[in-house]
Amino acid sequence: MTERGPLGVVGGGLAGLAAAITAAQRGREVVVWESGAIGRDKVCGEFLSPEAEDDLDALGCGDLGAALSPARLRTVALFGAGGARLDLALPGRPALGVTRAALEAFLARRARDAGATVLERAPVRAIAPRPPGALEIQSPAGARAVAGLVLSMGKRSTLDAPLDLPRARAERPSFVALKAYCAPARLEADVELYLVPGGYVGVNPVEDGRIGVCALLADDARPVWSTLEDHAARHPALERRLAALGAPSEKPRGLARFGFGAQAVARACPTTGVPLLFAGDAARLVPSFTGDGMAIALQSGRLASLASFAPDPIHAYRRAFSRAFSARFRAAGALHGLFLRPPLFELLAPLVGRAPRLVDMLYRATRG
Ligand SMILES: Cc1cc2nc3c(=O)[nH]c(=O)nc-3n(C[C@H](O)[C@H](O)[C@H](O)COP(=O)(O)OP(=O)(O)OC[C@H]3O[C@@H](n4cnc5c(N)ncnc54)[C@H](O)[C@@H]3O)c2cc1C
Cis before residue 343, ω within 30 degrees of 0?
Answer: no
Residue 184 gets which letter from DSSP? -
Q: What is the pLDDT of residues 51-93, one digit of tens each?
A: 899 999 999 999 999 999 999 999 999 999 999 999 988 888 9
What is the distance in A from the centroid of ligand 1 to the CA of 14?
7
Residue 275 domain-assigned?
Answer: yes
Residue 189 domain-assigned?
Answer: no
What's the rounded Cα separation, in Å, for the pair 14 and 93?
21
Q: What is the pLDDT of residues 223-233, one digit of tens each?
A: 788 888 899 99
8 A C-beta contact, residue 177 and residue 217: yes
What is the distance in A from the centroid of ligand 1 to the CA of 130?
29
Angle at 50 between CA 294 and CA 16, to 5 degrees: 25
Residue 199 domain-assigned?
Answer: no
Counting ligand 1 atoms within 8 A of each CB, the residue from 17, 90, 157, 303 with the most, and so the one to mutate, is 157
Residue 222 domain-assigned?
Answer: no
What's the rounded Cα separation, in Å, for the pair 140 and 123?
7
Ligand 1 site, residue 288, Cβ cutoff 6 A:
yes
CATH number at residue 315: 3.50.50.60
Q: What is the pLDDT of residues 288-339, one digit of tens each?
A: 666 789 999 999 999 999 999 999 999 999 999 999 998 888 887 777 777 7
Q: How do strand 261-262 and strand 134-139 relate by DSSP bridges? A: unpaired
User: For position 1, what pLDDT does the model report?
Assistant: 42
Ligand 1 site, residue 10, Cβ cutoff 6 A:
yes
Q: Which helix (H) or strand (E) holds 32?
A: strand 30-33
Indicate the range of 6-15, 201-210, 300-309, 339-348 predicted with least confidence: 339-348
Which backbone phi and psi does 14 adopt, to 5 degrees?
Answer: -65, -45
Ligand 1 site, residue 43, Cβ cutoff 6 A:
yes
User: For position 15, what pLDDT does the model report?
Assistant: 98
User: For position 91, what pLDDT does the model report?
Assistant: 82
How many domains does one find in the chain? 1
Q: Which domain holds residue 272?
A: 7-72+93-171+260-338
8 A C-beta contact, residue 283 and residue 267: no
Residue 356 domain-assigned?
Answer: no
Nearest-CA residue for ligand 1 atom 20 is: 294
User: Nearest-CA neighbor of 193 among 354, 108, 85?
Assistant: 85
Q: How would you write 296-334 as a 3-class SS string?
A: HHHHHHHHHHHHCCCCCHHHHHHHHHHHHHHHHHHHHHH
Q: What is the pLDDT of residues 175-197, one digit of tens each?
A: 888 899 999 999 999 999 999 98
Residue 281 domain-assigned?
Answer: yes
β-sheet with 275-278: strand ranges across = 117-119, 30-33, 7-10, 148-151, 275-278, 266-268
Q: Give every CB contact of residue 199 below 8 A, 6+ residues apart in sequence.
A: 175, 215, 216, 217, 218, 231, 340
Residue 294 domain-assigned?
Answer: yes
User: For position 356, what pLDDT does the model report?
Assistant: 72
How far apart are the two ends of the chain, measured CA to CA in Å? 29
* Torsion sign, CA atoms 37, 38, 40, 42: positive
8 A C-beta contact, residue 305 and residue 151: no
Q: How do strand 199-205 and strand 211-218 relate by DSSP bridges? A: antiparallel
Residue 15 domain-assigned?
Answer: yes
What's the rounded Cα separation, in Å, for the pair 130 and 148?
12
User: For position 192, what pLDDT does the model report?
Assistant: 97
Shortest-distance atom of ligand 1 to CA 280: 26
Nearest-CA residue for ligand 1 atom 49 is: 13
User: For position 289, what pLDDT does the model report?
Assistant: 67
